[in-house]
Amino acid sequence: MGAGLVWLAGVARADSWQPPTPEVYFSSDKAWRLTVTPRALVSSLAYYEDQVAHRAHPGARAGNLQKQAQGYLQHREHGHWRAVWNAPLLNDVGPVSAIVSSAGRVVTFDNWGSMGYGKDVVVIYDDHGKPLRAMGLDDFLPKEYIEALPASVSSIWWGGKHHFSVDGRQLVLSVVVPATNQGIADDSDEHVELPFDMTSGKTLAPDPRAWAHALHEAHKVAAEQRAAQAAADAAFVAPLLGPKTDRDEDWHRYLVEAFFRLDPGWKNDFPATKVLRLPQRKDYEASVGFLRRALRDGTNQDSALMLASPSQDNLVRVLSEEVATVPHGWLKQARVYVVVDDAHTTAVARILAPTGATYIQLDPGKPIPQRKERLDAYMANKGK
């Protein structure tokens, strides 16, 4: 392993960020020590709430005078640590990680709460703790490449094991090579190395073959993403029809979309969706249990409950059995959507009547137009 390696992939893999804490980073020869003290936060939740409200220094503790992250670099001399510099870092709260070279040079990566965003994704500091060069992803990656990188709600997962060259003269960024169906990036992903001069901060030429390959893969993934987005756009605008498969996810997706197109509470509510699987499936009985519990769940008494199955005949049969044990009037404030055609809807209405539920038929063969308000908002957003 090279000097000053750091693992980025294992940090904050989910979109839930723990409050930042002080971190200590050593050079590979243990002669240099960087202590990073983040700006103290009341909580992660307070930080995000203040961000949404556009407050200065979001999440700050009352009375805390520290306005940004602080870095303290020391050099070990004759068995003692000597202070080299103590200076604010560019990060608002703190970097996600940092590396220190055997020459005492510091580089920080990303920002707490949102990897891959901002103009200080990579910051190279000089010998006195002053920023030599601060970079966002767009300073060293093409726009299409960035769009092809794996991303979560808060972060773009772009980095791997960043390090210094053996002689310490170069910073070497390890950048994820985009791939089809890529999840949150980790060490199993392919990476390409991009070098930078540590004296000037300037970008150096990468290995031409490796970089050409990375660009090719990014272009391929970006094209796939554009095609997928075009298909999603078309589906959003088009009338909604029931799926022709027995895949649970297809039916759940249909139920949720039908809710947003039809239900009066679509702006503030979200439906409970249950799919009764085909009887021949090994996990069939589990789906019967899900439906049974949904009918008795008190949280569904005053909201939308949506039921479907690839087999309408079996859905009617199971509903008849399960509803028979539900107390009369139990669902009198609920809206129960059931995916059945005209040949089955009378039976379903009769079965649900004792519960007091408002029954809404969803005929999978009858198209449901998109709600005008949703369509207008969607098209307006696409135009931005």
pLDDT at residue 125, as a whole number: 98
Q: Give the residue-averaged pLDDT of 170-174.
A: 98
Report the percent of the chain where pLDDT is more than 70: 95
Tokens 């503030």 sit at which residue?
268
Query: Which residue is listed with tokens 């200076």?
Result: 87
| pLDDT, tens only, 307-326 | 999 999 999 999 999 999 99
One-letter amino acid at 383 equals G
Average pLDDT over residues 252-259: 98
Once rounded to an integer, what is the mean pLDDT over residues 63-78?
91
pLDDT at 44: 86
pLDDT for res 186: 66
DSSP3 helix / strand / coil % (the chain, rounded to 5): 30, 25, 45
Domain boundary assignment for the chain: 23-220, 248-362
Whether 3 shows a pLDDT value over 60: the answer reads: no
What pLDDT score was predicted for residue 8? Answer: 35
Q: How far apart are CA 94 and CA 77, in angstroms?
A: 28
The model's pLDDT over 11-38, given as tens digits with 9 standing for 90+, comes to 334 467 888 999 999 999 999 999 999 9
Percent over 90 (pLDDT), the chain: 82
Does the pLDDT value for residue 58 go beyond 80?
yes
Mean pLDDT, the chain, as a whole number?
92
- How confident is the model at residue 50, as a pLDDT? 79
